[in-house]
Homo-oligomer: A and B are copies of this chain.
């Protein structure tokens, strides 16, 4: 269809500009001018800027969810899945998506920062949409992690899963508050391997004992 060409061009342009300049910081004019169209086209296809934003993410998140769940299923029967396999099923598709969304972005403003941005932006609508899109995935992975980490209670598994998500997002976003001068940003595969090593150990850590409450004398070895 020819009508789809403009639509896709708008989505591509928006995705790229959002990653470079932020979502709030990107005007419809910038999007349409990059896409070779004009402001009215956005409202014709998406109704509003909010509709455009929603579509930019929806286009990526459904395939991401599918891929993660397929990879998880390939780890074996529930209850017998290896922790590293579960973790890779969770991390790898996300990192690859981050890299793909990054194609036109400058080297210093890397990749998946788009998703990280959304998590922090003020408006509720997108964060809620994101949470909805991820809910099924997270429920399934939380269950898999819980079975693979029998030494942890439910609440600590959830807390660690949320930590792991933060580590992953921050890693994919390529944020370096502390960066060596000549250090190159890691390639996708190297990043995944380092993330997995880091997170497997973190998830397997012994349970956190309450330091305040009943056992004040105990220091963890």
Q: Point out which of A130, A135, A159, A160 has the most chain B C-beta atoms below 10 A from its C-beta.
A: A159
Contact of A170 among B156, B163, B204 (CB under 8 A): B163
In the complex, are the beta carbons of A208 and B201 less than 8 A apart?
no
C-alpha spacing A159/B165, complex, angstroms: 16
Question: Which A residues, 32 to 79, have Cβ-Cβ distances below 8 Å to chain B?
Answer: none
Confirm or deny: A186 has a beta carbon within 8 angstroms of a beta carbon on chain B: yes
* Given A22-B120, A24-B24, A187-B216: A178 touches B201 (CB 8 Å cut-off): no
Say yes or no for A97: interface residue by CB 8 A criterion. no
Identical copies in the complex = 2
Residues of B within 8 A of A130 (CB): 177
Contact (Cβ within 8 A) A22 B208: no
List 27 A-B residue pairs with CB atoms under 8 Å apart, sorted by A's residue number: A21-B122, A25-B121, A109-B122, A113-B120, A116-B120, A117-B120, A119-B175, A120-B120, A131-B177, A138-B177, A160-B194, A160-B198, A162-B170, A162-B175, A162-B178, A164-B167, A165-B178, A166-B169, A166-B170, A166-B173, A167-B167, A187-B216, A190-B216, A194-B208, A197-B205, A198-B205, A199-B202
- Known contacts A119-B177, A142-B178, A199-B202, then 5 further A-B pairs from the complex at CB < 8 Å, ordered by chain A residue: A166-B171, A166-B173, A189-B212, A196-B208, A201-B204
Chain A contacts to B: CB under 8 angstroms:
20-22, 24-25, 109, 113, 116-117, 119-122, 130-131, 134-135, 138-139, 142, 155-156, 158-167, 169-171, 173, 175-180, 183, 186-187, 189-190, 193-202, 204-212, 216-217, 220
